[in-house]
Each structure stands twice: as C-alpha cells, then as structure tokens.
Amino acid sequence: MEIFTSTFTGLIETSGFMGMGITNIIMLLLSFVLFYLAIVKQYEPLLMLPIAFGMMLTNLPLTGLYHPELWNPATNPYFAPEYVENGANILVNFTKETSLDYGRVLHDGGLLDMLYLGVKLQIYPPLIFLGIGSMTDFGPLIANPKSFLLGAAAQGGIFFTFLGACVLNLTGIAPFTLKEAASIAIIGGADGPTAIYLTSKLAPQLLGSIAVAAYSYMALVPVIQPPIMKLLTTKKERAVKMGQLREVSKVEKVVFPIAVTIIVSLIVPSAAPLVGILMFGNLMKESGVCDRLVKTAQNELMNIITIFLGITVGATAVADNFLSFKTLFIIALGLIAFCIGTACGVLLGKLMYLISGGKINPLIGSAGVSAVPMAARVSQKVGSKENPSNFLLMHAMGPNVAGVIGSAVAAGVLLSVLG
C-alpha cells in the first residue's frame, strides 16, 4: 500500500499539473486562438497551425521540449562572474554576451531545441527562400524594370515603423531597444522568412510575437490594403489600363538571378544569405536543367522546412516573452507598418502615373509589399472593380516580386547597421 501511494504521489508530482501556472493557462488559451485563426479563418494555415502547436507544446509545463533558458546568453554559465575571474575572460571577451553555449543545447536540449537550431543558425529562412525562388517568375519584373521602384517604395513602411517604435519609447511603457525596433519594423516587409531571419539575429526574444503578427497581417492583406488603395487614388487612376508586357527571353531570365545576386551581395553583403539563395532557386528553375532539384526545392524541402520553422517559432512564445505590453505594441506597430508600406507604394505609383502621363496604374504600387502573390491579386481585384476588363495581375507581379528583393535588402541594411 505504501508503495502504491508513493508511486501515485510521485506520478502526480511529475505530472504537468504541478507546474501549471496562470501564465501557462493564458498562453494555452492564446494558442487556441491561433488554432482558430489557422483552422477556421485559414490565416496562412501552413505556418499558423505549426506556430500555434509549437506555442501550445512549449507552454505545457515540464515537457522539456523547448528550454528558453538555453537560448538566453545571460544564463550561459561561462559568463558567470566567478568563471570570468578564473582567467577565462579572454574567451568571454571574444564571444561576448551574444554567444550561446551550444554544447549545453546539445546536451540538455529537447526536440524543439534541436529544431530551433535551424532558426538560431539562420538555416530555415534562406531555405524557404530557395523554394520561393524556384517558384517565382521574375518575367514581369524583367519586362518592366521600373517596377523595382515600387518594390523599394513599399519598404518605406519598414523604416517609418522603425521610427515609430522608437517614438513609442517616449511613453515609457514598454521601451524597445534599437534592435527590437528594427525587428518589429521588418514586419512591414510583409515577408515571413525575412522577418524571422532578422528577428532571430537581432531580437530572438520577440520571435514568437513578431512571427504571429507578420503572418496574421499577411493573411489580412486583402482586408488591410483595399481601403488604403481606394483612399489614395481617384476613380480615373484606378481605371487605367496598362499596355501588354513584352516577351522576356530565356537568356534574360537566366541572367537575372545571377546579376541580382552579384549586385546585391556586393553592396549589402548581409543580404546575401536571403537574396543569394532566393536567386539560386530561381536560377535552378529558369535554367531548366535541374528539374529534379527544382521539384524538391518547391515541394518536399519547402514543406519540411515550413513545418520545422513554424513549430519552433511557435515554441519561442513562452509566457515570459509573450505576455507583455511589448506584444500589444508589436501587433499595433505591425499593422502600421503594413498600412504605411501600402500607402508608400501607392503614392509612388501615383507619381509614376503622373510622370508617365497616365500610363501606369497606381494600384500596382500596393503590390510592392512582398506577400506574394496575395498583394498582386489585391491590385487586380481593386482594379477590376473599377473596370472589369482591366487585368493588372501581371503588371502587379513585377512590384510584388521586387518587394521580396526589396525587403531582403532592407533586412540586410538593418543587419549591417545594428547587427
């Protein structure tokens, strides 16, 4: 009988219920909200569902799947004062507070810690870009290189939001460091992998909230953008029909990824992991000689990485990081970033409309925020409402894919200044 009671109490003590706090319960409820968004509302479900599940797993106490403390450099025992006093400070100075004890991660880590290595070491986002590159047709952009300008203008949302986050610091409620402000601002790039890439480097503690905000707003592009587009354009501008794009030869399509990689990598080397791998995927596709590799990059590899990325990013959303005013501010700032980005794109589109003498429809400007191909579809939809025979889709694809390059470049710039 004694043995029975002791085993029974032992079982209860090691069960999750003992470690359950109020914060865990709130986080679990939040993960249920994300399940709802993913399954019922279908907001980017391929990522939202894994994120929600990762969030649920990590907030179930004592599962040991993910250990936030392993990823916090401050808890690295080699940085403890007594260790430094013992003459190990050369190593400390060398690695500084940014470095982690990966040996400890491998020793003590759980499943999600292992998978999180791919986020921490910046492996997953570029691999997702490989898949995106192998699916993207840059033809419309090559046919109309001016689209690059719209792709650049829409990045205005990023830098405006960076300012905004810093201004919010004046309230003193939840001050953001420069690195955190930059990570929040990148939500305006409307590009999940880029946002995760930059945040995991600059402010990993915000990864969960930034990823959730970025993917939620990307799913909401068809809701967020049209009112802004209509507000900033006149009926006449929206009804503009654009001339047909010229044919792009295969040679141009092959030269494009090579040239973009070289030019961008030379100017902003820190954007090379994203832009370079994106273009690598595109070259595999356009060259037409690696069909097997392209198939893998587009399907299996992309799917595997999406699963790993989603569930581990969700796992970083532990209560300590997530339940704060910062998360609320991030959600607000993310929305501002999207709106300003859209507005900047449309406004430059308007300018181009004026300069071109009414040949360019300003609606394609809003597609400059990446969110491929959703943003381009929104341009098409809003345009065809004004004039049902108007087909803006291919024209909007130009700024749209330029936006992917633009936001990767913007991330590179922020990294090189603040990284």
Binding site for another protein (CB under 8 A): 141-143, 145-146, 148-149, 151-153, 155-156, 158-160, 162-163, 166, 169-170, 172, 175-182, 246-247, 249-252, 255-256, 259-260, 263-264, 266-268, 402, 405-406, 409-410, 413-414, 416-418
Nearer to another protein, 56 or 411 (CB): 411
Q: Distances in Å between the alpha carbon of 345 and those of 155, 239, 351?
A: 8, 17, 10
* Residues in Cβ contact with 230 at an 8 Å cutoff, skipping those fewer than 6 apart: 238, 382
What's the burial of 73, exposed, middle or buried (CB within 10 Å: 0-12/13-18/19+)? middle
Beta strands in 265-406 (DSSP E): none
Q: List, as one string, the DSSP characters of 47-63.
A: HHHHHHHHHHHHHSTT-
The per-residue b/e assignment along 227-262, b for 16 or more CB within 10 angstroms, e otherwise, is ebbbebbeeebbbbebeebeebeeeebbebbeebbe
d(CA 294, CA 233): 40
Residue 269 Cβ vs another protein, minimum distance, rounded to whole Å? 9
Residue 151 Cβ vs another protein, minimum distance, rounded to whole Å? 6
d(CA 105, CA 96): 18
Nearer to another protein, 311 or 410 (CB): 410
Nearer to another protein, 127 or 158 (CB): 158
Nearer to another protein, 143 or 210 (CB): 143
Residue 251 Cβ vs another protein, minimum distance, rounded to whole Å? 7
Nearer to another protein, 47 or 149 (CB): 149
Residue 30 Cβ vs another protein, minimum distance, rounded to whole Å? 24
Nearer to another protein, 105 or 346 (CB): 346
Residue 370 Cβ vs another protein, minimum distance, rounded to whole Å? 13
Residue 373 Cβ vs another protein, minimum distance, rounded to whole Å? 17
d(CA 365, CA 403): 10
